[in-house]
Every structure is written in C-alpha cells, then in structure tokens.
Homo-oligomer: A and B are copies of this chain.
C-alpha cells in the first residue's frame, strides 16, 4: 500500500471528536462553530502538507499541491466535512481526509506530478442547515446564484452569509474552482448494495436522476363517529392507498428505481376527525431521464384511480427535478483500472444519492469512488465503514490520481 491507513484514521478520528452527540453522532452542521473547528484543523493540515490554501466566496476550501507544469489543469479530489444533525463519522469526511492522505503519501513517496492536485472541502453539502443541499458545488457549477445562497436562512434565522462571515470563511469569488482536468470524489455508499454484493470499493458510473413531487389529496373532514364508512371522503385513506399503489407500479420497473414517501402531513391531527386534506412527498429516482418522466405519468395514473374510488381529488406539485448524471467515461475507466491495479475487481455501481460531484460533472470530467457502508446505514450514529475498506478505497484514489495526473 502507498497510503498510510493509520494516519488517515488518526486524522478522521480527530475531526470526529469535535462535536459528538449523546448517541455518539457527529454534529458538524454547515457554518457552525463545529464546522469552523473542522475547517481550522483541515487548513492547518493542508498547510503542513505543503498545500496552498485558498477559500472561495461560498466558503469552499481548496488546498493546492503545485504541479511541475505551471499551465497544467489541476486534478481535484474532494467532498465535504459538514454533517447531518446527529450524523455519521464517514459521510463526506472520508472524501476530504482520503485526498489529504493521498497528498501526504505522495509527499512521503516523493512523487512529483505534472498536473497540480487540489483537495476540496465543499460548503453545505448536506443541506441540513441551509436548504437545499449541494449549495457551494452548485454555485461553482452555475446551478445556483451566490446572492441567492447568501440569503438562505438556517432554522435559527441566520443567513448563509452572516454565518460564513462569522466563522471567518468568506473568501474570494476568484478562488472558485473554474476548470480542472478531472474531479474525483470518494464517498461512502450510504446504502446496502455493496454489502449485499460483497464489494468493498465501487467505481461509480453515475447518479440516479431525481424527481421530488408534493402530492396533496383533498377529501372532506368529518367527525369520526357519525360518518358511515360508505359516505366518507377520507384524504388519509386515499393517500394510504396511493402510497401502496405507487410502490406497486414502481416495483414493476425493478432496480435501480426507487420511490420514497418521506413526509406526510394531515390538515387536522385529531383522533376523532377524518382528515380532510393530506399532503405527502414522493422522491423518485431512476438512471434514465425518459423513464423518470414515465414514472411521473404512472404516479398520476395511480392517483387518478385512487381518488376516483375514494371520492377525493389531488394536485401534484413538482418540487424539484434533477437529471441523471453519467460520469465521464475516461475518469470512470481510470478509476476502474486503478481498482484492478490494487487487486480489486472493476465493480461498477450507480449512486442513488446526490453528491457534490454530480453538479461538478456538469462542468468538469468527474467520477466517484464508493466505499462499502456496513448495514447500509447513513446520516446516523450507526453509520459505519471498515478501516480495511477505507484503506483500499483511498489506495484506489491514490492510484487514480497517479493515472489522472499523467
């Protein structure tokens, strides 16, 4: 192995001591004091590793290892250090500490490269404190306007800009990532597929497209006692039938299609009142844009049928739509070769979750490396990846970099 797994573990452990919840979860929400502490440590370590540190206007941190050719485009490696509330130890952090370890190992091994290498820590990937997620990478990719992001408010009512300035991490717009030869993001899988397939490291081909719908079903609120079952227009009954019915339709398409109802609210919340209005969200993901549109049509069909049966009506509000990402073939194949070079199979996987690399892929050839999640858990204290898998993933990253800087 070229990389030093012990050193990588030590650095991750140190960041993961910053703010620990009672349940043992991480609590480094974007632009909080804990985020600042993690950033300060990263900055120190970047400088100790000889990197030139710069901060952009969104607070994203870049540590640059110069190349031998001053005109060569950098190879970028990065993810994020912010977490969900009571989140895990690996989500995001691995994709910043892994690259730092690659740099340290290149230094140890006295490897000089033609292309510069940059380690990146994107701001507010999680979207837990400032919604939506992927804000800083989104600004760099031209998806969001920086002024709009600056004005977004945390649940406590603080703006992104206020908090960015408060922790002292507002840099210059000119420092943004503009162009690069390639970007590789290493991340934990956050799902159970690799464990089921008995694979420790994955070469990510792309990211599923996502559509978020908000579905409102309108029936009639009524008293639970004196309303015979046959005369009801129960919005929650219709919603329940729709939730079951939508899954039935989705399942016909097989993996990797997923559909999730994450939020459901009723207009009343009284034990003895039939809910008059119910709103629920639907998150549908598919690797193919056309299929995603078809799924939306099928959802509409299910709702039409259910609402006719239940004497209710519905309305669909499309909250968000994000096309599937197909990572750059050259970058993906390079990662696949790197995996084979360390004795692993070129195991390909599609990401169900969004990542900073998704947006960056719009402007720069990008790819991702996945590390197996034990139990498929993420965004919780139980989130776990083995140090063996982490070491292998980081070694694949090291080998990928050696190939990409050529």
Chosen A-B contacts, 13 in total, with CB atoms closer than 8 Å, are A191-B227, A193-B226, A193-B228, A222-B377, A223-B353, A225-B351, A225-B352, A225-B354, A230-B255, A244-B244, A260-B273, A261-B275, A262-B272
Instruction: For the complex formed, measure the closest distance between the CB of A273 and the CB atoms of chain B, giving whole angstroms.
Output: 5
Cβ contact within 8 Å between B273 and A379: yes
Q: How far is the CA of A15 from the CA of B258 in the complex (A)?
A: 56
Q: How far is the CA of A262 from the CA of B276 in the complex (A)?
A: 10
Cβ contact within 8 Å between B237 and A244: yes
Contacts of A378 in B (CB 8 A): 222-223, 226
Give 3 closest A-B pairs by Cβ, nearest first: A191-B226, A225-B352, A225-B353
Cβ contact within 8 Å between A226 and B190: yes
**Provided the pairs A247-B229, A269-B262, A272-B260 are in contact, do residues A283 and B191 lie with their beta carbons within 8 angstroms?**
no
Is A152 an interface residue when CB atoms closer than 8 A count as contact? no
Q: How far is the CA of A192 from the CA of B266 in the complex (A)?
A: 23
Cβ contact within 8 Å between B262 and A224: yes
Contacts of A229 in B (CB 8 A): 247, 250-251, 255, 257-259
Q: How far is the CA of A283 from the CA of B273 in the complex (A)?
A: 9
Q: Which of B189, B192, B240, B269 is close to A263, meaning CB atoms less than 8 Å apart? A: B269
Closest B residue to A133 using CB positions: B272
Contacts of A256 in B (CB 8 A): 228
Q: Which of B231, B237, B273, B319 is close to A376, meaning CB atoms less than 8 Å apart? A: B231
Is A281 an interface residue when CB atoms closer than 8 A count as contact? yes
Is A208 an interface residue when CB atoms closer than 8 A count as contact? yes
Q: A191-B226, A222-B378, A244-B244 are in contact. List 9 more A-B contacts (CB 8 A).
A: A189-B226, A191-B227, A193-B228, A224-B258, A224-B352, A225-B283, A229-B250, A234-B260, A271-B319
Q: A interface, how many residues as a size bin?
A: 35 or more
Is A274 an interface residue when CB atoms closer than 8 A count as contact? yes
Q: How far is the CA of A261 from the CA of B228 in the complex (A)?
A: 14
Closest B residue to A225 using CB positions: B352
Is A264 an interface residue when CB atoms closer than 8 A count as contact? yes
Q: Which of B208, B227, B241 is close to A225, meaning CB atoms less than 8 Å apart? A: B208
Instruction: For the complex formed, measure the closest distance between the CB of A202 and the CB atoms of chain B, giving whole angstroms.
Output: 11
Closest B residue to A226 using CB positions: B191
Which A residues, 175 to 227, have Cβ-Cβ distances below 8 Å to chain B?
Answer: 189-193, 196, 208, 210, 212, 221-227
Instruction: For the complex formed, measure the closest distance between the CB of A190 and the CB atoms of chain B, giving whole angstroms.
Output: 5
Is A270 an interface residue when CB atoms closer than 8 A count as contact? yes
Cβ contact within 8 Å between B275 and A271: no
**Provided the pairs A244-B241, A272-B283, A281-B271 are in contact, do residues A260 and B226 lie with their beta carbons within 8 angstroms?**
no
Contacts of A258 in B (CB 8 A): 224-225, 227-229
Closest B residue to A282 using CB positions: B271
**Provided the pairs A227-B192, A379-B223 are in contact, do residues A266 and B263 lie with their beta carbons within 8 angstroms?**
yes
Is A402 an interface residue when CB atoms closer than 8 A count as contact? no
Contacts of A73 in B (CB 8 A): none
Closest B residue to A278 using CB positions: B264
**Provided the pairs A192-B231, A231-B376, A272-B283 are in contact, do residues A352 and B223 lie with their beta carbons within 8 angstroms?**
yes
Is A397 an interface residue when CB atoms closer than 8 A count as contact? no
Is A61 an interface residue when CB atoms closer than 8 A count as contact? no
Instruction: For the complex formed, measure the closest distance between the CB of A274 and the CB atoms of chain B, giving whole angstroms.
Output: 5
Instruction: For the complex formed, measure the closest distance between the CB of A288 and the CB atoms of chain B, giving whole angstroms.
Output: 15
Is A380 an interface residue when CB atoms closer than 8 A count as contact? yes
Closest B residue to A352 using CB positions: B225
Is A239 an interface residue when CB atoms closer than 8 A count as contact? yes
Q: How far is the CA of A273 from the CA of B241 in the complex (A)?
A: 20
